[in-house]
Amino acid sequence: MKQEQQYLWWQSGTIYQIYPRSFQDSNGDGIGDLQGIISRLDYLEWLGVTAVWISPIYPSPMADFGYDISDYCDIHPLFGTLDDFDQLIQEVHKRDMKLILDLVPNHTSDQHPWFLESRSSKNNPKRDWYIWHDAKEDGSEPTNWLSVFGGSGWEWDEKTQQYYYHAFLKEQPDLNWRNPEVQQAMFDVMRFWLDKGVDGFRVDVMWHMIKDEKLRDNPSNPDYKPHQATYEQLIPAYSTDQPEIHDIVSKMRKVTDAYKARVLIGEIYLPVHRLIIYYGTNNKGAHLPFNFSLITLDWDAHKLSSHISEYEGALPEGGWPNWVIGNHDQPRITSRVGQAQAKVAGMLLLTLRGTPTLYYGDEIGMRDVPIPPDKVQDPQGLNMPDKDLSRDPARTPMQWDSSNNAGFTTGEPWLPLPYNFQRINVEAQREDTYSMLSFYRRILQLRKQEPALHIGDYEPVVTNGSLLAFIRKTESKKYLVVLNLSHKPCIFRLNTQEYKGTIVLATSPEREGKTIEANISLYGDEGILIELD
């Protein structure tokens, strides 16, 4: 029998992502900061999450809002100081929670001293820390590789007469991970923060870190649709997900494992059969290669249940599953599946087997906020203005209360608040039993209390139409989860006596406490969690 003590916090717990610019401002400059986060830790404790992952807080020219780092071992003055950071870590740990940092090893800012040196001359010792190449004979770029943010992935450097590669902005040159000095430098960065007591890293674009040594061109994508980012015109077969990445990840894991109970998470957008390779040989890769399928798949019961089975079946022995429902790069869940389905989505995230990661504000049902064209800040939106790709709408300030600027700042918020924040905010929802926030809190508490929910086995249940159902169980307890992914009522048919029990949690609290003995009629957009007899 599985013993609970065999499981670590990052397996049994829940991760909450904070986008620091938007969580809480403490000094009135309209941008969130570390003291702001500290002042809201009681809320996170009350909510019941285990770990907090914060997007980058390091010095940065902010070309990509902190994902362009100019110093890996300091804090951007906008966010505070290293002292504030030490205080944050202490305060998090005091509440028995964990702190996960964002590590961005694929690229630096073009203002990082490493790159300034590297671009200063061809013989500079740091030249080979980045990916420099001669032009082709006709002067064109070394490969056809595209930048995720639009345009070519290569930038010509007039002074030294070579191109450098950047998977993202030209202000974010890619590091050359084939160079052992680069590897050591980044492992030192990891140790710097691990020594400070951070509980792990979310590694940015892990699958981008190594590129084809022979610099082969990427093939074109026959399924490209004009509304997509121009990057999608090619299949990044040679610029991402190269076999050599797994050796690098295992080295990062080794650095992490030299410390007790730390976690290594990888940001990886790949199909299941490629994704699971990032667990590494003998599970010596990433602990949690992020599984984004709840974001990338259509909100369809059949597609989701086949994915869950495929993923469960593909996981390597000992590989721990995980699920993500939103992040700072994707439209918010409430906007994607609609207000009515948002609780069902939360229930799915928090009842599946595996570590859930939730995105700040989703617990109160924050929606994507439309940003007027002259206020767009995200480079992805600015570079491809005709394609509606800005990530700003999902990055707006946290809605705390109904006061000015939703209690986020006393100044001018860096992104606007929605018109309805006076209704959709933490304060308004806290005491309301029927609110999204109360729902999230109750399910987080139940998940925490019940081993069947946080570490139990997963067993699919065959259903019809728009229903998604499964069982979570330990030897002593069994839960049946039934979710209606459509707006229409439907019936979940119980064809065996096995499914007798009591509803312990539901998207509509009125349903709780009811016993279930026959077929269950579900309302549209309803989810129920039944403790089986």
Give the Cα separation of 424 and 443 in Å (integer): 20
Strand 98-103 to 154-157 pairing: unpaired
Residues 322-341 that bind ligand GLC (CB under 6 A): 328-329
- CB nearer ligand GLC, residue 168 or residue 231: 168
For the bound state, the minimum distance from the C-beta of residue 201 to ligand GLC, rounded and expressed in Å, comes to 13
Of the candidates 67, 177, 292, 311, which one interacts with ligand GLC according to CB under 6 A? 67
The residue (of 128 and 329) whose beta carbon lies closer to ligand GLC is 329
Beta carbon of residue 485, minimum distance to ligand GLC (angstroms, whole number)? 27
- Residue closer to ligand GLC (CB basis): 209 or 444: 209
Among 57, 88, 205, 490, which residue sits at the site for ligand GLC (rule: CB under 6 A)? 205
Chain position carrying tokens 């924050």: 366
Nearer to ligand GLC, 292 or 499 (CB): 292
Whose Cβ is closer to ligand GLC: residue 236's or residue 451's? 236
* In the complex, least distance from residue 210 CB atom to ligand GLC, rounded to whole angstroms: 16
Instruction: Tell me the per-residue interface mask from 448 to 477 with ligand GLC, x by CB under 6 A, - otherwise.
Output: ------------------------------
- Spatial contact of 49 and 15, defined as CB atoms under 8 Å apart: yes
98-103 and 490-492 beta bridge pairing: unpaired
Q: Which amino acid is at 128?
A: D
* Phi and psi, residue 273, nearest 5°: -65, -25
Q: Closest CB to ligand GLC among 205 and 485?
A: 205
Report how far residue 42's alpha carbon sits from residue 397's, in angstroms, rounded to the nearest whole number: 18
Q: What is the Cα gyration radius of the chain?
A: 24
As a whole number of angstroms, the distance between CA 232 and CA 229 comes to 6
Residue whose CB is less far from ligand GLC, 353 or 395: 395
DSSP annotation of 425 reads S
- One-letter amino acid for residue 136 of the chain: K
3-state SS, residue 114: helix
Q: What residues are paired with 146 via a beta bridge?
A: 152
- Residue 390 beta carbon to ligand GLC: minimum distance, rounded to whole angstroms: 12
DSSP state of 426: H
For ligand GLC, give the closer residue by CB, 267 or 450: 267
Q: Is 430 exposed, middle or buried (0-12, 13-18, 19+ CB in 10 A)?
A: middle
Tell me the two tokens of residue 373. 């064209």
How many residues can be counted in the chain?
A: 533
Applying CB under 6 A, does 53 fall inside the site for ligand GLC? no
Task: With beta carbons less than 8 A apart as the criterion, state whether 304 and 351 touch.
Answer: no
Using rule CB under 6 A, residue 64 touches ligand GLC: yes
- Cβ closest to ligand GLC, residue 48 vs residue 56: 56
Nearest approach, Cβ of 168 to ligand GLC (angstroms)? Answer: 4
Instruction: For ligand GLC, give the closer residue by CB, 366 or 446.
Output: 366
DSSP codes, 282-293: GG-S-SEE---H
Task: Considering the candidates 267, 378, 450, 526, report the single residue annotated as catalytic.
Answer: 267
Give the span between the Cα atoms of 357 and 339, in whole angstroms: 20
Residues in region 252-271 near ligand GLC by CB under 6 A: 267
Q: Tell me the angle at which helices 82-94 and 180-196 cross, rounded to the nearest 10 degrees.
A: 60
Q: How far is the CB of 157 from ligand GLC (least distance, A)?
A: 21
Catalytic site residue 267? yes
| Cα 197 off chain centre by | 22
204 binds ligand GLC (CB under 6 A): yes
392 binds ligand GLC (CB under 6 A): no
- Residues 6+ positions from 4 with CB-CB distance below 8 Å: 12, 451, 455
Quote the least distance from Cβ 72 to ligand GLC, whole Å: 14
Q: Answer for the pair 185, 105: CB distance below 8 angstroms, yes or no.
A: no
Closest distance of CB 384 from ligand GLC, Å: 13
- For ligand GLC, the nearest residue by Cβ is 67
Residues with Cβ within 8 Å of residue 186, at least 6 apart in sequence: 72, 103, 105, 175
Cα 311 from Cα 113, distance rounded (Å): 42
204, 362, 392, 450: the catalytic one is 204
Query: What is the distance between the alpha carbons of residues 92 and 163, in angstroms, rounded to a whole number?
Result: 44
**Which residues within the stretch 398-417 sit at the binding site for ligand GLC (CB under 6 A)?**
none
- DSSP E strands, 238-392: 263-266, 288-289, 322-324, 355-359
Say which residue the tokens 């904070």 belong to. Answer: 18
Tokens coding 251: 């080295």
Minimum Å gap between C-beta 247 and ligand GLC is 22
- Whether residue 105 contacts residue 175, with contact meaning beta carbons closer than 8 Å, is answered with yes
Q: Hey, which residues between 476 and 515 contact ligand GLC (CB under 6 A)?
A: none
Total residues interacting with ligand GLC, rule: CB under 6 A: 9
- Of residues 19, 53, 129, 168, which one binds ligand GLC by CB under 6 A? 168
171 binds ligand GLC (CB under 6 A): no
Residues 80-109 interacting with ligand GLC (rule: CB under 6 A): 104
Q: Scanning residues 285 to 314, which ones bind ligand GLC (CB under 6 A)? A: none
Active site residues: 204, 267
The residues binding ligand GLC (CB under 6 A) are: 64, 67, 104, 168, 204-205, 267, 328-329
